[in-house]
Amino acid sequence: MFEYKDESTGYIIRQYTDSAPIRSDKFYFSTESFTADDKYFFYRENNEGKTSIYRVDYATGQRELALGPEYTNMCLDYHRPHAYVRKGDALFCMDTNTGLLTEVATFPPGKCNGHLSVSKSGLVWCSYHQENKIYALVVLDPKTGKSEVVFQDDHFLNHCQACPGDDETVMYVHETMGDALQRIWLFDYPTRRVRPYYVEKEGDWITHEVWTADGDYLYFIRYPHHIMRGTRDGHSFTQVAESTQYLHCAPDRTGKWVVADRATGVYKGWKNQIALINTHTGEETVLANLEEPTTGGEHPHPSFNRKGNIVLFNRPIAKGVCNVCAIDLTQVDTFNA
């Protein structure tokens, strides 16, 4: 771990890895990275196609191997000191305080699309590509060990996120690797019905969704200019911020702050930055200026710790390579105002 000063903003940034040519990247912004007490965070190292997960002491930078490459699709629970990972066909629950792993369920034949997700009571969800090549939503119950395919579709289902505020609502998307006619969908577990969430009109490009930790709101990008927030039921939407470009965003637990990145637009005159946005006023503060990422793997993907005073992000350094960094928001005047 070492610290450097951003030349444009003057803020001090901690860099926790220096692993080129190995890519070190934080978890995707739609799952927690920090443990429940904010003492540790998890990140991944990709070495020649094999990904291992490390746990890092935020204060000291000391790291330890948490999981080898045989474990995949990890997510952290919003409400409990648990993480869930897949190994082979088995779902494991990890105690994030002790590292103890317990096998709790078995997946149906197939593979997960993206990381796992946990509902309010602890049901584990994932978007899935079954062995028969049909896409699906799958739910696993760690208490009973049962798994079930609850919905099937011919679309590429991806970015499944169970609502942290109930056990009924599950968000997923139609993945096109770009714009979609209708991207965000809601699945109702009791009735097994699906419906559009934010109904797109011609010209809308909707992307990069994330629930708030209480599940009351879903944030997403109306690319490239707007950060949007919708209620859980999808009946009311608010524009939180407008700028030249936003790519990903993540809310804190208070509802006052969102952190966002902008990337991959230098040819348009856009900058590569991390920005802090006040959701009450729309005021934006640039936290860091970055190099241009060359693939999605180096996108900054910023997100908060659980207390909401630290932002963790990726710092692109070369094609296919980035490092994990953090910024303490207590040094930012607008955050303390």
**Does residue 19 register a pLDDT over 90?**
no
Query: Residue 276 has what pLDDT?
Result: 98
From 116, 198, 184, 197, select the one nearest 155 (Cα to Cα): 184
Give the domain CATH number at 203.
Answer: 2.130.10.10
Place 333 in a pLDDT band, splitting at 50, 70 and 90.
very high
Contact 46, 131 (CB under 8 A): no
Mean residue pLDDT of the chain comes to 96
Both tokens of residue 212?
């708030």
Place 243 in a pLDDT band, splitting at 50, 70 and 90.
very high
Of 87-96, 189-198, 318-327, the range with the lowest mean pLDDT is 318-327
Query: Residue 185 has what pLDDT?
Result: 98
Given the DSSP bridges, would you call strands 206-211 and 257-262 parallel, antiparallel or unpaired? Answer: unpaired
Q: What percentage of the chain reaches a pLDDT higher than 90?
A: 93
The answer, as to whether pTM is greater than 0.95, is: yes
DSSP string, 213-253: TTSSEEEEEETTTEEEEEETTSS-EEEEEE-S---EEEE-S
**Does residue 20 register a pLDDT over 90?**
no
Count, in order, helices (H) and strands (E) of the chain: 1, 29
Number of domains composing the chain: 1
* CB atoms near residue 52 (< 10 Å): 17
Q: Which domain holds residue 330?
A: 2-336
Per residue in 121-158, pLDDT tens? 999 999 999 999 999 999 999 999 999 999 999 999 99
- In the chain, what is the straight-line distance between the N-terminal and C-terminal CA atoms, in Å? 29
